Amino acid sequence: MGFFKQKKHQPVQEKVIREDKMPPHRSTASLEKNIQYLQQELRNSTDLKIRLLPGNKQALVYLDDITDPDKIQRYIFEPLLKTEGDITKIKDREESKDLNEAVSSLLEGKALYLIEGQSTCYFFNVQQNVTRAITEPMNEKVIKGSHDGFNEDIKQNINLIRRRIQHRSLTIKKQTVGDYTESEIALIYVEGVVNPDVVKELETRVKNISNDALLSAGAFSEYIEDRTYSIFPQFLSTERPDKTVAQLMEGRIAILFANNPTCLIAPVTFFAFYQSPDDYNTRWLVATYIRLIRLFSFILAITLPSFYIAVVGFHFEVIPEDLISPVLGAIRDIAYPPIIEAVMMVVVIELIRESGIRLPSPIGSTIGIVGGLVIGDAIVTAGLVSNLMVIVIALTSLASFVVPSNEMSDSLRLLTFPLIILSSILGFIGIAFGLLMVLIHLCRMESLGLSYFTPIQFRDLKDTVIRVPQFLMKRRPEQLQSPRPYKSNELSDDDGKK
Amino acid sequence: MKKLTIILISCTLILSGCWDMREFKEVKLGITAAYDLTDDGVYTNTILIPNVQNSAQGPGQESTQFLTATGSTASEARTNIDRRLSSTYSPAQLDVLLFGDKLARQDIYPYVDAYYRDPRMHLDVVPVVVKGNAEQALKVVPKSEIRPSEYIEGIIESEVETTNTLETSLQAIGSELYEEGEDFALPLLQVGDGGKTVSYEGLALFHGSSYTGKDIPFGHTTLFLLMKRVKGKVARITVKIFDGEKPETNNNTTINIEDYSSKIKTKPDKQNKVRADITMDVTVMIQEYPQDHLSLSKLPEVKKNLEQALTDQAKETIRIIQEANSDVFGIGRSIYGHYPDYWKKLDWEQDFKNIKIEPHIRVNIRSRGIFR
């Protein structure tokens, strides 16, 4: 099939060296030369401030926008006055004779103190911290339970986790990714609970990322996930520290990002996307009931429209006799075949949803009402879509929004389309084929080398399909092959008996 | 190569599929159908099609459409119906199938054969025999009904609940149509009130696949069904237990069957070839007793008379069945099962009329009413 191939030509480009891998550049004794080098390396950027101190023998260099003037006053000038200008007597300082290191330090928000006639540079940490307050994540609200959430500051995020797991085995491994951005990421796991092979696997994958910029958690997951072409998410993303900690204690790995409130959790199973911290805060019977509803909604979300199309288009024998005349009355005068109706209605719902997200919240709700009520009513009266189809599609999208995880909900809504098409071509057989393919795909998927659709065996049902009381959940999930399979020091059998 | 394969596979999927599409809105569904045989030997087929007015708000108004066509065979009559319809006629949702008694006396199998062959058809169609003209019964549409198309079905369903007819369908009679050792009975309807209503008249007894012309009358059906071990939600029997009381109504009592057990024992017999004993124990509640002096001392007499009256009724029913040569109790099947060698010597077609069927009914009165 040479027809489809295009000629490849390799463009030439310079290699970018990461800041922390720059070869050293020795500083000189001349203040002017040093300053000149810094200015040149930072491309004469205007926010580079050079303050010559009285006598022009000493200079303080810093990037204006990322440093805190208060801190400069407190950590540099005030101590300088006390020691009568002797910089070597100030305690909180770092030294170096490498000007390239000086440049990296400036970029981190440190101030550089240079003295004429000395080749040693002194650094002071005067970084300005811009953080958002800790608030509950908008998209993962719970009724009961802790209401804090991650924010953009990775230090604060790690703080939130450390406060919840006060044990020395909580391991935090920081790395940077992206040659330009040098984004900091932190792999967090509980040593002794996590499967070491999985950690090794994840570390290799992270090491192999080569990119100029790492912008988001979603992009990151695409670099390291097992199947990029799959429709299903393979990392659980959350902004909730309580959820993260619960997953850490199951033996999973959390990945935190600097400047990003999203935390990725791997390896996961399909059912992890259907669990919510709410489940563990309510009575177990209630939680089980809600879990079952969520799983039912999974089936509903992907099959309901296709089921309806198959019934109306192929197998009207299955309509119960009491429903014949209502159904017939509803669809009699509709001009389009059911598949067009369904696609039309799905698109309408997506439009309402998407416009509702982008608009500010007071207008967003108005759009919901206008879209939902007015269009929904008018489209039926106009005879474009039958009122049964409106019910079907509305139920479908409701069912897809029940999923606690946002990505899974999006995947589900996308998954309805192939099934709609298949059912409009082959009826029930088409749905059977479609579901079979989805199931085969799910069974073949892996998350960090561990199976994604873990065999549904009885022991794992306890915290997936249903939720049993805590004392019955003695083991960690089988999927993770944790070196510490039991959740407590006292070994007991599955029934909670010792 | 991979791309070409994908394109070819999706082509086979897309190009082959829509062919089988049968859209619901483009089909006329028959709910009830009637088959008749006129005096000239012409078959008529009448169907009832519910039509719904467009309903953007709430359920639509239902109206019914009747179509009658004639033909020299049953399928020709059906083809003639299709010619007059704006969209394709589909009997896939048929609920009730009416046979005129004239046609039923011949053979009903040719009319139901298609239901056993086509997987799209309902097998829970209720076959019903109509005394007289079936088309006439179909066209009775009382104004009081919300869904006129379900009038006849409703009659049958309510009679099933009160143990006056059995829950039957093409599926249920499927094996009995041709089996020698067992026959079946179908509900019998009749147009009354000068063509304004349809009433339930009893059970039409079949032999093989044709109507024998003999029926179990309405008053006898409950006891018959209990002997056959079929009970709906309630079962009530009104019997005459006294003679000569004044006024006339005082002779009768109505009992409500609360519990029953019924057993049919069959065995070869020298005298009558086969002997069948129907043993039935019923626990009853006296529901209506116009004499109103039901003291404990009177109870044994009531009980005795009740047993006598029920046994008489059962004997009468059995006489009709044997006259009709319709083995609705499945006695032949039971003999065939237990004494296969003996069965080979019998000529069931002739012998059934002469076998001995003996009912033994015991009554236990549990309650005489809440004031007593």
Using CA coordinates, name the residue in chain A closest to B14: A425
pLDDT of B105 strictly over 70 = yes
Q: How confident is the model at residue B19 (pLDDT cuts 50, 70, 90)?
A: low
Is A326 an interface residue toward B (CB < 8 Å)?
A: yes
Q: Taking phi first (over 0 means left), then psi (-120 to 50 degrees means alpha), and beta for anything else, what does residue B236 get?
A: beta
- Choose the closest CB to B60 out of A316, A329, A337: A329
Chain-chain contact of A313 with B24 (C-beta, under 8 angstroms): yes
Interchain CB distance below 8 Å, A1 and B4: yes
| Interchain contact, A325 vs B54, CB within 8 Å | no
Q: Which of B274, B262, B104 is nearest to B189 (CA)?
A: B104
Tokens of B253: 């009592």
Cross-chain Cβ contact B31/A430 below 8 Å: no
Write b or e for each residue in A434-461: b if 16 or more Cβ atoms lie within 10 A of its Cβ, otherwise e.
bbeebeeeeeebebbebbbbbeeeeebe
Q: Does A337 touch chain B (CB under 8 A)?
A: yes
Average pLDDT over residues A156-167: 93
Residue recorded with tokens 């550089």: A112
Residue type, A423: S
Tokens representing A168 are: 């020395």
User: For residue B286, is pLDDT > 80?
Assistant: yes
A residues 383-402 closer than 8 Å to B (CB): 383, 387
Say whether A316 and B27 touch across the interface (CB within 8 A). yes
B346: how many CB neighbours lie within 10 A of its CB?
20
Residue B371 has pLDDT above 70, yes or no: no
The domain ranges of chain A are: 19-125, 154-268, 280-450
Q: What integer pLDDT is reported at residue A455 of this predicted model?
A: 64
Smallest CA–CA distance, residue B55 to chain A, in Å, is: 6
The answer to whether residue A328 scores a pLDDT higher than 80 is yes
Q: Does B60 touch chain A (CB under 8 A)?
A: yes
Supply the angle between the helices A241-250 and A154-164 in degrees, to the nearest 10. Answer: 60
Report the amino acid identity of residue A230: S
Interface check B59 vs A, CB under 8 A: yes
Asked if A143 and A279 touch (Cβ cutoff 8 Å), the reply is no
Own/partner pairs, A34-43, CB within 8 angstroms, 24+ separation: A34/A99, A34/A114, A34/A121, A35/A59, A35/A61, A35/A114, A37/A99, A38/A99, A38/A102, A38/A103, A38/A106, A38/A112, A41/A99, A41/A100, A41/A103, A42/A103, A42/A106
What is the residue type of A85?
G
Q: Which CATH class is domain B235-372?
A: alpha beta
Return the domain boundaries, chain B: 27-219, 235-372
What single letter denotes the amino acid at residue B38?
T
**Half-sphere exposure of residue A200: CA atoms within 13 angstroms, side-chain side:** 3
The span from the CA of B26 to the CA of A179, in Å, is 64
DSSP code of residue B288: E
CA dist list (Å): A340 to A34, A350, A410: 71, 15, 21
* Beta strands at B197-207 and A58-63: parallel, antiparallel or unpaired: unpaired
Residues 6+ apart with CB under 8 A from B246: none
pLDDT of residue A293 exceeding 70: yes
The overall average pLDDT reported for chain A is: 87
- Distance between the two ends of chain B, CA-based, in angstroms? 91
Query: What pLDDT shows up at residue A275?
Result: 87
CB contact set of A48 (below 8 Å; sequence gap of 6+): A38, A39, A42, A61, A62, A63, A64, A106
pLDDT of residue A88: 78
Task: Read off the pLDDT of each residue in A486-494 and give the average, rounded to a whole number.
Answer: 73
Residue A82 contacts by C-beta under 8 Å, 6 or more apart in sequence? none
One DSSP character per residue, A181-199 reads T-EEEEEEEETTTS-HHHH
Cβ within 8 Å, pair A329-B59: yes
Q: Is the pLDDT of residue A9 over 60?
A: yes
Which residue, among A125, A128, A100, has the nearest Cα to A110 in the 3D structure?
A: A125
Contact A430/B at CB under 8 A: yes
Q: What is the CA radius of gyration of chain A?
A: 30
CA distance linking residue B261 with residue B277, whole number of Å:
13
Spatial distance between the Cα atoms of B127 and B118, rounded to a whole number of angstroms: 17
Quick check: A425 contacting B, CB < 8 Å?
Answer: yes
Q: What is the mean pLDDT of residues B197-223?
A: 91
Residue A494 has pLDDT above 60, yes or no: no
B-chain residue closest to A386, CA distance: B56
A189 DSSP β-pair partners: A171
The two structure tokens encoding residue B347 = 């000529």
pLDDT of residue B48: 83
> Backbone phi, then psi, for B187, in 5-degree steps?
-60, 145
pLDDT bucket at B17, cuts 50 / 70 / 90 = low
pLDDT at A58 over 50: yes
Question: B21 touching A, CB under 8 A?
Answer: yes
**A with B: how many residue pairs have Cβ under 8 Å apart?**
92
Among candidates B3, B59, B120 on the partner chain, residue whose Cβ is nearest the Cβ of A1: B3
Which has the minimum average pLDDT: A117-131, B38-52, B254-268, B302-316? B38-52
Residue in B17, B93, B150 closest to A317 by CB: B93
Element (H, E) at B200: strand B197-207
* Tens digit of each residue's pLDDT (9 = 90 or more) over B38-61: 887 778 888 888 777 665 555 567
Q: Does position A498 have pLDDT exceeding 50, yes or no?
A: no
pLDDT digits (tens, 9 = 90+) for B304-330: 888 999 999 999 999 999 999 999 998
Task: Please compute Rg for chain B using Cα positions.
Answer: 25
How far is Cα B282 from Cα B306, in angstroms, rounded to an integer? 11
The closest alpha carbon to B126, from B61, B86, B173, B85, belongs to B173
CA distances from B222 to B91, B167, B182, B234, B322 (A): 32, 13, 20, 10, 18
Q: Tell me how far CA of residue B3 lies from CA of A2, A111, B6, in angstroms.
A: 12, 59, 5
- Which residue out of A322, A324, A386 would a mutagenesis test of the B interface target, given it has the greatest number of B Cβ atoms within 10 Å? A324
Strand B126-131 to B185-192 pairing: parallel
Flag if B4 and A381 touch (Cβ within 8 Å). Answer: no
Q: Is B277 exposed, middle or buried (0-12, 13-18, 19+ CB in 10 A)?
A: middle
Does A338 contact chain B (CB < 8 Å)? yes
Q: Where are the beta strands (DSSP E) in A368-461?
A: 446-447, 450-451
Backbone angles phi, psi at B37, to 5 degrees: -125, 120
B277 touches chain A (CB under 8 A): no
Looking at the complex, does the CB of residue B19 fall below 8 Å from at least one CB of chain A? no
Predicted complex: ipTM over 0.85: no
User: Which residues of chain A neighbour B147 with C-beta distances below 8 Å?
Assistant: 325
Q: Are B309 and B223 in contact (CB under 8 A)?
A: no
Q: Terminus-to-terminus CA distance in chain A, angstroms?
A: 66
Q: Which of A311, A324, A380 sits opposite B29 (nearest CB)?
A: A324
Cβ within 8 Å, pair B25-A332: yes
- Nearest CB among A317, A332, A427 relative to B122 is that of A317
Cβ of residue A311 closer than 8 Å to a chain B Cβ: yes
